[in-house]
């Protein structure tokens, strides 16, 4: 999904794909 908006979260390791 390439949701790079979670990069600001704690664990952006589930919305990087």
pTM for the model:
0.04
Residue with tokens 């990069």: 7
C-alpha distances (whole Å) from 1 to each of 5, 11, 12 are 11, 16, 13
Encoded tokens for 2: 């390439």
What's the pLDDT at 4? 60
Q: What is the pLDDT of residues 1-17, one digit of tens each?
A: 566 665 555 665 666 55
């Amino acid at each position: 999904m390439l949701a790079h908006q979670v990069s600001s979260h704690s664990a952006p390791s589930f919305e990087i794909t």
